């Protein structure tokens, strides 16, 4: 299939104005295909050639202005329309289209719990042509009027309000002008909860088998929805632009969610069947806030071409976290951003595949390259840059600029240049220069602190204290960006016998980096700890002075502010990745401080990095038993400390990580047999499958036990749990069957593919997986070419041999990058995975020294 290039899109946008799509979809024609009839009214501004995209199973007929055209002339996914005359036209396309099993196009899912079938579309970024014929590019906005025929008893949801006109026929209210990638339909016997807010219909929807779980959380979800809606109306002058707000939790969704106007789709893991932590609830709330921000930024005003995707995502990411903090009970969201998202940005920005937040348009020549930019740079780094921008401009001017942007470009398209011009119109500051330094460059600056005693010749700073003491701070910058940062100075507090040392904030002050070259002189003796970027308002790596770092190692959990601790845990994290901090020291620091950590997002973030990266990838084999023992001791300690039931979230995190790290089956088996962790929690499906997966990894269960568990939980997640367990069993037969399912069979849905891949590679199973390291590359390259970007992404992420940390594995991977058949989606994933592998190998090498 041809991917659309930017040049083609620009040419087509010069020729065409698209007025209206009138679409009829019939979803009652069988399990493999559905019928799709489209009439597109458009105007050619000048005479010329153009084309329409469609990927049918069968193209039954096509006509232009009533004249039939030859369906056989379809060329791949394009039908050429040569020699168009200037003036109005109508193109009609009648086709049968394939349902999808990969979450792209019209996804079809049958719930194993009750046999009910659900359909939904995911048309981003160029998958509309899998559902109906379209001039598919974001700057050809149009009205979309859709009629759907669905089985009786189903509900149909669309961008506009859907009306049932009888006998399974539904008419969806025509949209205002929106981009093709934002059209959405969801159809099935949904369980729905509807209400009204600010005169607008609101609805939340999920599969029937999840109904009790959605009901249990409906108030929470709708309260957050209302609170964000109201808050956005305080910030934005433009009212919500669409006629309704539905949020559908849909099965086997690839992303977290998608911002279709009036019909946001979410992965239905956000409808919790099992216990979750408050941090996970906060994440769901953040996604709700993020998608709603897109109604303005993305849907009302849309990028003209995909080089500006960061404008959509960075804005929604920043607004999501900020609005949640302002409008809901989740008042501490920036800690989670710091620990869960920023590392994603920092990692992406240090890889060979890094790119500017706002890439040069020439760097995004087509849709395939645009798809690669949905990464930690476009989301986390971009949001960090916007946060720094708000700190620098002030929120009032920032919002004034945003509102000017909405007013000028509503129901149309805009570029980075428009955005910057609109911001500049609201401030005296040089936003264009800021954009050049922050958005057009790559990489992370490193800010390094040195503290000392001021030289006698130092020009006088603030007066020294009564003792005549003062201290000096010098910050050096490796990089190119200007930063305004807060520096925190901390002293040891008194009375700290029973736990690691407590620190007290002495003061915070702001400095500009780079400054004028002179040290900052502060009164008093040198603090025990000096933290750069305290408050986390900039995006940079930091390195502390030696004395401060020693204080961190002894007193990290004694720092009063969670956001400060997040900055320091992130520093420890990238020091491990840079080979500046021994893996064992990171683990020892976690062992010392996590028992006293009160912020759940921090506990979760640190334990995940400790388990998944430090132990499983960065630790040399000789040190592995000690590293694993540290991790399980820590989890056991957390479990013991939470026996009184007062911290269920912390206990749940500890139980999950204990299960994942266990090296002996006995405790896990007794929990599974008794149906509970001693002292709670009782095992829910998530914990039962987690335990069984670990027992499978340890070779302490078998197919019969997996089948019994699946019979007890025959849900979609149960089916994924069973697939994960089977792939994790340490036998040659189990690995061969899993590999065949992943790479030969081609029938696994996106979610079952992921579950199987997650089970396959396990540290410690090298004797049964070793041969698959070299097989991975040719098999994945062929698979990606056959099954498309979503499966390619899943293969690159989950089926990659991440634990084979040795030079041979790295060399095999690097050679595979030269394969001419490598698709862009898989190539990008492999480049990133191999860079992580190279880093892990470097850390191990420096440890052996």
- Nearest CB to Zn ion, comparing residues 101 and 294: 294
Q: Kindly give the residue spans of alpha helices, DSSP state H, lying in 22-118.
A: none
Q: Is 287 in the site for Zn ion (CB under 5 A)?
A: no
Sign of CA dihedral 149, 154, 159, 163: positive
Closest separation between CB of residue 251 and Zn ion, Å?
Answer: 20
8 is catalytic: no
**Per-residue contact string for residues 31-70; x = within reach of Zn ion by CB under 5 A:** ----------------------------------------
Distance CA 393, CA 428 (A): 9
First-to-final CA distance of the chain: 50
Does residue 207 contact residue 120 with C-beta atoms inside 8 Å? no
Closest separation between CB of residue 459 and Zn ion, Å?
Answer: 49
Residue 345 backbone phi and psi in degrees, to 5: -70, -45
- Nearest CB to Zn ion, comparing residues 124 and 803: 124
CA angle, 349 as apex, 811 and 483 as ends, to 5°? 150
Distance CA 118, CA 444 (A): 44
Closest separation between CB of residue 635 and Zn ion, Å?
Answer: 34
Give the chain's radius of gyration (CA, Å). Answer: 28
Closest separation between CB of residue 319 and Zn ion, Å?
Answer: 10
Strands 412-414 and 301-303, bridge-based pairing:
parallel
- Nearest CB to Zn ion, comparing residues 316 and 677: 316
Closest separation between CB of residue 294 and Zn ion, Å?
Answer: 6
* 491 phi-psi bin (left φ>0, alpha ψ -120 to 50, beta other): beta
Q: By Cβ distance, which residue is nearest to Zn ion?
A: 316
- Nearest CB to Zn ion, comparing residues 313 and 720: 313
| Total number of residues that touch Zn ion (CB under 5 A) | 2
Tokens standing for 663? 């090296």
CA distances from 199 to 192, 245, 293, 806 (A): 19, 11, 19, 61
Q: Kindly give the residue spans of alpha helices, DSSP state H, lying in 154-277.
A: 211-235
Helix (H, G, I), strand (E, B) or coil at 440: coil
Closest separation between CB of residue 19 and Zn ion, Å?
Answer: 28
> Interface with Zn ion by CB under 5 A: which range of 93-101, 315-323, 543-551, 568-576?
315-323
6: closest CA among 365, 362, 369?
Answer: 365
Distance CA 533, CA 96 (A): 57
Distance CA 118, CA 109 (A): 5
**Per-residue contact string for residues 797-816; x = within reach of Zn ion by CB under 5 A:** --------------------
Closest separation between CB of residue 317 and Zn ion, Å?
Answer: 7
Residue 555 belongs to what H/E stretch?
A: helix 546-555
> Interface with Zn ion by CB under 5 A: which range of 307-315, 538-546, 631-639, 801-809?
307-315
**Per-residue contact string for residues 317-336; x = within reach of Zn ion by CB under 5 A:** --------------------
> Interface with Zn ion by CB under 5 A: which range of 314-322, 334-342, 424-432, 784-792?
314-322
> Interface with Zn ion by CB under 5 A: which range of 130-138, 316-324, 571-579, 671-679?
316-324
Residues in 534-593 at the binding interface with Zn ion, rule: CB under 5 A: none
254: closest CA among 344, 132, 122?
Answer: 122
- Nearest CB to Zn ion, comparing residues 222 and 316: 316
- Nearest CB to Zn ion, comparing residues 323 and 470: 323
Closest separation between CB of residue 181 and Zn ion, Å?
Answer: 12
> Interface with Zn ion by CB under 5 A: which range of 89-97, 145-153, 309-317, 391-399?
309-317
Helix (H, G, I), strand (E, B) or coil at 183: coil
- Nearest CB to Zn ion, comparing residues 380 and 725: 380
Helix (H, G, I), strand (E, B) or coil at 182: helix
The packing angle between helices 309-327 and 211-235, to 10°, is 100
Closest separation between CB of residue 265 and Zn ion, Å?
Answer: 12
Closest separation between CB of residue 341 and Zn ion, Å?
Answer: 12
Does residue 180 contact residue 135 with C-beta atoms inside 8 Å? yes
Contacts of 377 (CB under 8 A, 6+ apart): 310, 345, 348, 349, 354, 355, 356, 357
* b (16+ CB within 10 A) / e for 729-750: bbeeebbebbbebbbeeeebbb
- Nearest CB to Zn ion, comparing residues 295 and 389: 295
Specify the residue for token string 């469609």.
54
Q: Is 316 in the site for Zn ion (CB under 5 A)?
A: yes
Distance CA 645, CA 640 (A): 10
Catalytic residue from among 53, 104, 291, 686: 291
Closest separation between CB of residue 249 and Zn ion, Å?
Answer: 17
> Interface with Zn ion by CB under 5 A: which range of 268-276, 305-313, 329-337, 446-454?
305-313
Closest separation between CB of residue 312 and Zn ion, Å?
Answer: 6
- Nearest CB to Zn ion, comparing residues 313 and 597: 313
Residues in 219-278 at the binding interface with Zn ion, rule: CB under 5 A: none
- Nearest CB to Zn ion, comparing residues 257 and 830: 257
- Nearest CB to Zn ion, comparing residues 139 and 313: 313
Contacts of 498 (CB under 8 A, 6+ apart): none
Specify the residue for token string 């921008």.
389
- Tell me the DSSP string of 792-825: HHHHHHHSS-TT--SHHHHHHHHHHTT-TT--HH
Q: Is 795 in the site for Zn ion (CB under 5 A)?
A: no
- Nearest CB to Zn ion, comparing residues 319 and 426: 319
Does residue 181 contact residue 189 with C-beta atoms inside 8 Å? no
187: closest CA among 202, 205, 173, 214?
Answer: 205
- DSSP secondary structure letter of residue 210: G
> Interface with Zn ion by CB under 5 A: which range of 198-206, 313-321, 514-522, 582-590?
313-321
Instruction: Name the residues that contact Zn ion, by CB under 5 A.
Output: 313, 316
Which of the residues are catalytic? 291
């Amino acid at each position: 299939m041809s991917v659309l290039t930017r040049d083609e899109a620009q040419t087509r946008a010069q020729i065409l104005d698209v007025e209206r799509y009138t679409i009829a979809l019939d979803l009652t024609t069988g399990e493999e295909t559905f019928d799709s009839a489209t009439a597109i009214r458009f105007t050619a501004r000048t005479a010329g050639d153009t084309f329409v995209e469609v990927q049918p199973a069968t193209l039954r007929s096509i006509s232009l202005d009533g004249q039939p055209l030859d369906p056989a002339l379809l060329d791949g996914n394009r039908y050429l329309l040569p020699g168009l005359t200037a003036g109005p036209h109508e193109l009609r396309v009648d086709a049968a289209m394939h349902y999808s099993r990969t979450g792209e196009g019209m996804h079809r899912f049958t719930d194993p719990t009750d046999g009910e079938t659900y359909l939904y579309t995911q048309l981003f970024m160029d998958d509309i042509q899998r559902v109906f014929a379209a001039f598919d590019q974001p700057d050809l906005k149009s009205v979309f009027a859709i009629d759907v025929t669905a089985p009786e008893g189903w509900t149909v949801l669309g961008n506009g309000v859907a009306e049932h006109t009888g006998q399974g026929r539904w008419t969806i209210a025509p949209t205002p002008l929106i981009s093709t990638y934002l059209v959405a339909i969801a159809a099935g016997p949904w369980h729905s909860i509807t209400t009204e807010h600010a005169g607008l219909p609101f609805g939340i929807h999920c599969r029937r088998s999840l109904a009790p779980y959605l009901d249990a959380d409906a108030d929470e979800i709708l309260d957050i929805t209302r609170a964000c809606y109201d808050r956005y109306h305080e910030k934005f002058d433009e009212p919500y632009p669409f006629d309704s707000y539905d949020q559908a939790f849909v099965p086997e969704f690839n992303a977290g969610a998608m911002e279709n106007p009036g019909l946001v789709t979410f992965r239905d893991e956000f409808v919790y069947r099992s216990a979750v932590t408050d941090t996970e609830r906060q994440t769901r709330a953040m996604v709700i806030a993020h998608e709603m921000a897109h109604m303005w930024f993305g849907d009302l005003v849309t990028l003209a071409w995909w080089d500006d995707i960061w404008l959509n995502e960075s804005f929604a990411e920043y607004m999501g976290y900020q609005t949640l903090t302002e409008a809901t009970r989740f008042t501490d969201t920036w800690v989670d951003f710091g620990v869960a998202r920023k590392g994603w940005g920092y990692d992406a920005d240090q890889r060979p595949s890094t790119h500017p937040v706002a890439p040069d348009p020439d760097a995004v020549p087509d849709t395939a390259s645009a798809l690669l930019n949905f990464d930690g740079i476009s989301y986390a780094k971009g949001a960090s840059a916007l946060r720094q921008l708000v700190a620098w401009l002030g929120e009032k001017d920032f919002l004034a600029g945003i509102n000017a942007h909405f007013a000028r470009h509503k129901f149309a398209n805009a570029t980075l240049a428009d955005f910057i011009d609109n911001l500049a119109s609201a401030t005296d500051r040089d936003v264009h220069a800021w954009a050049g330094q922050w958005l057009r460059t790559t990489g992370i600056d490193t800010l390094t602190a040195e503290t000392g005693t001021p030289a006698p010749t130092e020009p006088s700073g603030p007066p020294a204290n009564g003792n005549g003491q003062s201290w000096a701070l010098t910050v050096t910058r490796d990089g190119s960006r200007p930063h305004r940062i807060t520096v925190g100075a901390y002293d040891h507090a008194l009375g700290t016998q029973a736990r690691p040392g407590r620190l007290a904030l002495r003061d915070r002050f702001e400095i500009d980096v780079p400054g004028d070259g002179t040290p900052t002189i502060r009164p008093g003796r040198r603090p025990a700890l000096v933290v750069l970027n305290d408050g986390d308002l900039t995006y940079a790596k930091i390195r502390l002075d030696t004395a401060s770092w020693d204080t961190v190692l002894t007193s990290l959990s004694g720092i009063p502010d969670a956001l400060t601790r997040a900055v320091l845990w992130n520093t420890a994290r990238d020091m491990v990745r840079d080979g500046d901090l021994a893996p064992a020291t990171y683990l020892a620091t976690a062992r010392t401080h996590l028992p006293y950590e009160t912020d759940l997002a921090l506990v979760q973030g640190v334990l995940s990095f400790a388990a998944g990266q430090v132990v499983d990838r960065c630790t040399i084999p000789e040190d592995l038993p000690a590293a694993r023992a540290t991790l399980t001791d820590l989890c056991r300690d957390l479990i013991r400390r939470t026996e009184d039931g007062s911290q269920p979230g912390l206990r749940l995190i500890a139980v999950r990580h204990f299960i994942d790290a266990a090296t002996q089956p006995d405790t896990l088996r007794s929990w599974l047999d008794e149906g509970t962790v001693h002292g709670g929690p009782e095992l829910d499906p998530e914990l039962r499958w987690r335990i069984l997966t670990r027992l499978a990894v340890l070779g302490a269960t078998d197919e019969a036990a997996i089948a019994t568990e699946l019979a007890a939980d025959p849900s979609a997640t149960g089916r994924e749990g069973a697939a994960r367990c089977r792939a994790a069993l340490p036998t040659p037969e189990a690995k061969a069957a899993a590999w065949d399912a992943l790479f030969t069979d081609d029938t696994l849905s996106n979610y079952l593919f992921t579950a199987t891949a997650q089970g396959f590679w396990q540290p410690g199973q090298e004797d049964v997986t070793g041969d698959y390291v070299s097989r991975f590359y040719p098999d994945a390259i062929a698979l990606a070419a056959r099954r498309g970007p979503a499966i390619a992404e899943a293969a690159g992420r989950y089926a990659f041999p991440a634990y084979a940390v040795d030079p041979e594995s790295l060399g095999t991977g690097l050679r595979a990058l030269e394969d001419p058949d490598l698709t862009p989606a898989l190539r990008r994933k492999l480049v990133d995975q191999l860079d992580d592998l190279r880093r892990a190998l470097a850390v191990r090498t420096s440890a052996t020294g």
